[in-house]
Amino acid sequence: MGGEEEKRKEVDAAAVKRIVKQLNFGGSEEERAEAALEVGRLARADGRTKRFLAELGVVPTLVRMIFDSRDLRSRISAAEALIELGRGTFKNKVLMVEAGLLTKLPQLMPNKDFSRSQELFLLLSSISSLAKTDFALNTSHILPLVFETLNANDATENTKLACLATLYNLSTKLDNFKSIVSDDTIHALLTLSLDRRTSEGALSILSNLVVSPAAKRRIADHSAVPKAFVEVMSWDDKPKCRELAVYLMMVVAQNGCRVYREKLVEHGAVEVLLEIALLGSDIARRRAMKILQWIKNEGEVRMRVHSGPRVERVSLFDGCSGDREEEQCRRAIGEMVKESLKRNMASILRKATAIEGFSNVKGLCTSSSSKSLPY
């Protein structure tokens, strides 16, 4: 039995060597593209074969194919093979960097067919995970291509998603913030956050970057904020996006930024925050309650009576003369606030009842037995 196993391994090794030879010395682009596809298939088979392929030197050859080949199919086949070789292996990703994959990236930018391909950014996403390790990853060659693609109208949704995954990995390291944070980057990410397909990726990156004072300032000053966050927070079917939007809103609103909190009220954030505080996930509820408390405290501070003239007090109770009339004005304003809150709560409860009813209907429809019916 042991002899048969050894014989099988020898046959497998011979087949791998034959494919590697075809990859290195194939007479045509088509033959090398086929060999690259086979390398990818073999790399998926098991870890031992993946290590063996790397030991035979396929990584530098595949990297050269990406930059030297004029055939788009060959380039994509090489990228797919490298993706499989790098999956789950730190060493093979380092080999790709050492083979010059990143330093040569600027050469690809004029070739829009490949530089906008999903395969290239899936490969870059794999390599960018090195940023989460102690490996010194130079981002100066990756970021220009990433930024160009995020802003490109001709990039597909899948390409942008892979591009966002690359930028997310890079944004997990504080050392990269200076290279990443700019007005253009923040604008692109906020724009993508309003697209339901790319929103989670864009918001995740912003959540990483917002710990930087420079990024926080740029986010707070952007014309789309807080309106963009309020819109995302209204997406009932995107709980993760809601959590991230509430987090970003909370971080930007803290430290007594009164102007920003006033903008929250102007853009209808209170109603959405109330809904999340009642119906959101645990973490989203806690964050929403914190923001609502800040808004409430801000209002109390502005309404508080101080010694000396107050512009807010005069304008608020303009036309009220004497303590009795002023008290009546206060009661009238209080009633208006209560009525507004009552309407908001009624709307929220209707939504909650609809969600609960829909869940019950789904439960009944998917039941396969009459025993599960409630009657």
pLDDT at 15 over 60: yes
Tell me the residue length of the chain.
Answer: 375
Supply the pLDDT for residue 260. 76
Strands (E), 270-330: none
Max CA separation in the chain (angstroms): 105
How many CB atoms are closer than 10 A to CB 187?
Answer: 16
Concatenated DSSP letters of 290-349:
HHHHHHHHHHHHHH---SS--HHHHHHTTT--HHHHHHHHHHHHHHHHHHHHHHHHHHHH
pLDDT at 2 over 90: no
What is the DSSP code (8-state) at residue 27?
S
Residue keyed to tokens 């923040």: 186
DSSP 3-state of 87: coil
Supply the pLDDT for residue 304. 52
Give the residue among 24, 33, 32, 40 at the shortest CA–CA distance from 122: 40
How many CB atoms are closer than 10 A to CB 373?
Answer: 9
Q: Let me know: does 123 contact 81? Beta carbons within 8 Å.
A: no
DSSP 3-state of 160: helix
Give the residue among 289, 282, 270 at the shortest CA–CA distance from 344: 270
Give the residue among 195, 163, 196 at the shortest CA–CA distance from 180: 163
The Cα–Cα gap between 248 and 230 comes to: 11
The Cα–Cα gap between 160 and 152 comes to: 9
pLDDT in tens, 280-328: 899 999 999 999 988 887 666 555 544 344 444 334 344 445 566 556 5
The Cα–Cα gap between 145 and 115 comes to: 8
**Angle of the 72-86 helix axis to the 118-128 helix axis, nearest 10:** 30
Helix/strand number for the chain, H first, E second: 21, 0
pLDDT bucket at 134, cuts 50 / 70 / 90 = very high
pLDDT in tens, 30-77: 999 999 999 999 999 888 899 999 999 999 999 999 999 989 999 999
Mean pLDDT calculated for residue range 237-257? 89
The Cα–Cα gap between 124 and 352 comes to: 43
Q: How far is CA 53 from the centre of its chain?
A: 34
**Angle of the 269-279 helix axis to the 239-253 helix axis, nearest 10:** 120
- Quote the mean pLDDT of the chain: 82
**Contact partners, residue 161, CB within 8 Å, separation at least 6:** 197, 198, 201
- Domains recognised in the chain with CATH numbers: 17-101 (1.25.10.10), 102-176 (no CATH), 181-301 (1.25.10.10)
More confident residue, 356 or 165: 165
Cis? peptide before 106, omega within 30° of 0? no
Q: How far is CA 234 from CA 194, 237, 246, 266, 357, in A?
A: 11, 9, 11, 16, 20
310 burial type by CB count under 10 A (0-12 exposed, 13-18 middle, 19+ buried): middle
pLDDT bucket at 6, cuts 50 / 70 / 90 = low
How many CB atoms are closer than 10 A to CB 316?
Answer: 15
pLDDT in tens, 206-219: 999 999 999 999 99
